């Protein structure tokens, strides 16, 4: 028994005396160490990944994942013309600017029967007189999409910080209230309105900031952030209509005064007519 143990110990001694044993042990140990390091790093990366907190289509807030989300870069979109090709349209009625010359103001008045109304946007028509696609000037949310015989139907899209774009005199509306639309998306077709029959087939386009109408021509090609610092160019919509009524009243008053003056002049002429002078001579 002791001889067998001596033989085994002597075999191990002889084994470790060989030159390749220790280098081989070193290489195996190094390989195991490297493998453990790689495994540890891989495990750490997996732990660092965001956990999946959704369950049955809902996140931890309880909201479904398919709810619409408004793009945060909307404020940096440039305001575009609400048409496909700008060079194929004309502005048939300009925006009424209170600071513009009188001839420019006259071009921005809308004849509504016996009344004149200040145009709170621009009226755009195709050069060939045909109908055309009306596009969203900026991305946003549809807050109004209604039939309106007087205005020719109305679409209003809400944007950031109290900014709203308005599209009137349209037909074949392709959006509804609550829809999220992208810039350049087709909203409807151009049409006519009872309010501005002289414009024929057109689209009435407005930009409003806190319910104040701004001149769209000033802001085409600029981001919505430019409107945040915009000065008020006109009174709110309710005041604009009142201003139009006051203009009508002033016009009516002037016409009445002219008629009274004319009547007074005729009476004076009748008083000094030749027949009256002849009758006066006969009496004498």
Domains of the chain by range and CATH? 72-237 (2.70.70.10)
* Radius of gyration (C-alpha) of the chain in whole angstroms: 41
| Model pLDDT for residues 101-116, shown as the tens digit of each residue | 888 888 888 887 778 8
CB distance 234 to 96 below 8 Å = yes
With 70 as the cut, is the pLDDT of residue 244 above it? Answer: no
Q: Are strands 133-135 and 109-112 parallel, antiparallel or unpaired?
A: unpaired
| Token duo for residue 144 | 């109004």
pLDDT at site 256: 47
With 90 as the cut, is the pLDDT of residue 156 above it? Answer: yes
Q: Is 194 helix (H, G, I), strand (E, B) or coil?
A: coil
Its pTM stands at: 0.58
| Model pLDDT for residues 34-52, shown as the tens digit of each residue | 888 888 777 765 555 554 5
pLDDT at site 226: 83
The candidate with the shortest Cα–Cα distance to 54, out of 42, 45, 67, is 67
Which segments of the chain does DSSP mark as H helices, in order?
Answer: 2-16, 21-48, 102-107, 216-219, 225-228, 237-271, 274-283
DSSP-assigned states of every residue in 231-272 = PP-S-BHHHHHHHHHHHHHHHHHHHHHHHHHHHHHHHHHHHT
Residues near 245 by Cβ (< 8 Å), separated by ≥ 6? Answer: 115
Cα separations (Å) of 90 from 94, 163, 190, 250?
Answer: 10, 25, 13, 32
Q: What is the b/e burial string over 112-139, where b = at least 16 CB atoms within 10 angstroms of the residue's CB? A: eeeeebbbbbbbbbbeeeebbbbbbbbb
């Amino acid at each position: 028994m002791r001889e067998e143990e001596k033989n085994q110990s002597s075999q191990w001694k002889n084994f470790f005396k060989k030159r390749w044993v220790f280098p081989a042990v070193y290489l195996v140990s190094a390989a195991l160490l490297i493998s453990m390091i790689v495994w540890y790093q891989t495990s750490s990366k997996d732990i660092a990944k965001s956990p999946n907190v959704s369950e049955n289509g809902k996140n931890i807030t309880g909201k479904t994942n398919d709810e619409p989300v408004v793009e945060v870069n909307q404020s940096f979109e440039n305001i575009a013309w609400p048409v496909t090709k700008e060079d194929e349209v004309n502005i048939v009625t300009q925006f009424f600017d209170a600071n513009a010359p009188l001839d420019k103001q006259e071009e921005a008045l809308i004849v509504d029967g016996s009344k004149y109304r200040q145009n709170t946007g621009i009226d755009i028509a195709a050069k060939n007189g045909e109908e055309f696609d009306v596009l969203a000037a900026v991305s946003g949310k549809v807050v109004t999409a209604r039939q309106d015989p007087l205005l020719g139907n109305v679409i209003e899209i809400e944007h950031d910080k109290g900014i709203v774009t308005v599209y009137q005199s349209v037909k074949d509306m392709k959006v509804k209230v609550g829809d999220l639309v992208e810039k350049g998306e087709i909203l409807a077709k151009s049409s006519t309105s009872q309010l501005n029959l002289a414009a024929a087939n057109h689209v009435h386009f407005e930009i409003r900031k806190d319910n104040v109408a701004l001149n769209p021509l000033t802001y085409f090609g600029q981001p919505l952030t430019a409107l945040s610092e915009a000065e008020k160019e006109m009174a709110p919509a309710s005041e604009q209509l009142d201003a139009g009524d006051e203009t009508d009243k002033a016009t009516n008053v002037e016409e009445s005064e002219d008629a009274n003056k004319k009547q007074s002049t005729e009476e004076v002429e009748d008083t000094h007519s030749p027949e009256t002078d002849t009758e006066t001579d006969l009496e004498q």
